[in-house]
Amino acid sequence: MIMSGGVGSRFWPFSKEGKPKQFLDFFGTGRSLLQSTYDRFSKIVPPENIYIVTNDAYAEMTQQQLPELGKSQLLLEPLRRNTAPAIAFATYRIHAVDPDANIIVAPSDHLILREDLFSADMRNGLAFVEKNPVLLTLGIRPSRPETGYGYIQVEGDNGEGIEKVKAFTEKPDLELAKKFLESGEFMWNSGIFLWNVNTILNAFRSYLPDVVQKFDEGKEYFNTPREKQFVDETFPFCPNISIDYGILEKADNVYVNISDFGWSDLGTWGALHEISERDENNNANLNCKALFIESSDNVVAMSDDKLVVIQGLDDCIVAESDNVLLICKKNEEQRIKQFVTDVKFRFGDEYV
């Protein structure tokens, strides 16, 4: 179950509502983040068992990028309602296809560097959730006091590399993040989850009954021609709530597989800058041609047919897509969403 409905506004204008982050080839590899995610999972599970959950608006783009995908593998939300309703929708479909299925839930827009370790963790996790009625998260052993991620605190080692979760935390400030790192008890929450279809359905019934109540009413429609209409009618009544907040932070059967496969959620320009190749002055250039002169610590994201010449610029984001160019201090990137709102208000939808 690949979650592919995000709008990626943090990387505006490199990503836009019309073409969000997961559909972009961030690193000039020739494959978008979604395609890379699909490629990764198609080596772990039968490709026909891969479901892409996305928004109606991205149906065509998804089919263009993944022409091998069967129509029934594309689960389309009529509107955005955060991860809990999206996962509920896909869970009901998968249950209708296979009432004993073990499920991996994964974001479509993350970077994973060591696929061999990732695959081993996935296979290990699938075996674990098949035998145990638990909600298994993937926790990344932190390498730096990152303030941009949520953390998962673990209780103690159970001998299998899979530990019981003590608590989920919000993004910490730097001081707290340093303490998390020192303690060894805190893992980055990767947003990758594994569970058996019945385990997650039970959790929904316990913690988000209002989400599943509606789906239960029409559960005979899933995996039939009437599914789409039913979902379209049901989705607007679902609450806007994340799976983390709605279930994982509340359930008592949550475990974490501690992983170390070179992961980034590519959630911020700063994170992107960190993991990109950089020149001797710490300038990262994603995939265009660039000449940096007396410039340092910049990150540049332009289409690959562009040449950029930058002189006397430090600590900036330079990002472009089609009709929009953004130049912005890297440490002000949390304001980009506000810029997008301002642009929409002043200049209209065509730029966002």
CB of 7 to a second copy, least distance (A): 17
CB of 25 to a second copy, least distance (A): 18
Contact 75, 90 (CB under 8 A): yes
The residue among 183, 181, 186 whose CA lies nearest residue 167 is 186
How far apart (Å, rounded) are the C-alpha atoms in residues 154 and 146? Answer: 18
CB of 148 to a second copy, least distance (A): 20
Contact 9, 336 (CB under 8 A): yes
CB of 305 to a second copy, least distance (A): 6
Q: Tokens for 189, please give them.
A: 């929450």
Q: Is 185 or 315 the residue whose CB approaches a second copy more closely?
A: 315
Q: What are phi and psi of 11, to 5 degrees?
A: -100, 15
Q: What are phi and psi of 260, to 5 degrees?
A: -155, 50
Binding site for a second copy (CB under 8 A): 13, 289, 291, 293, 302, 305-313, 316, 318, 320, 323-329, 332, 335, 339, 342-343, 346-347, 351
Cα-based distances in Å from 160 to 95, 190, 296, 351 = 28, 19, 44, 50
CB of 64 to a second copy, least distance (A): 25
Q: Is 226 or 335 the residue whose CB approaches a second copy more closely?
A: 335
The residue among 161, 157, 208, 168 whose CA lies nearest residue 190 is 168
- Cα 75 to the center of its chain, rounded Å: 16
DSSP 47: G
Q: Is 159 or 348 the residue whose CB approaches a second copy more closely?
A: 348
Q: Is 123 or 329 the residue whose CB approaches a second copy more closely?
A: 329
Contact 91, 157 (CB under 8 A): no
Q: Is 64 or 307 the residue whose CB approaches a second copy more closely?
A: 307
Q: Is 91 or 298 the residue whose CB approaches a second copy more closely?
A: 298
CB of 291 to a second copy, least distance (A): 6
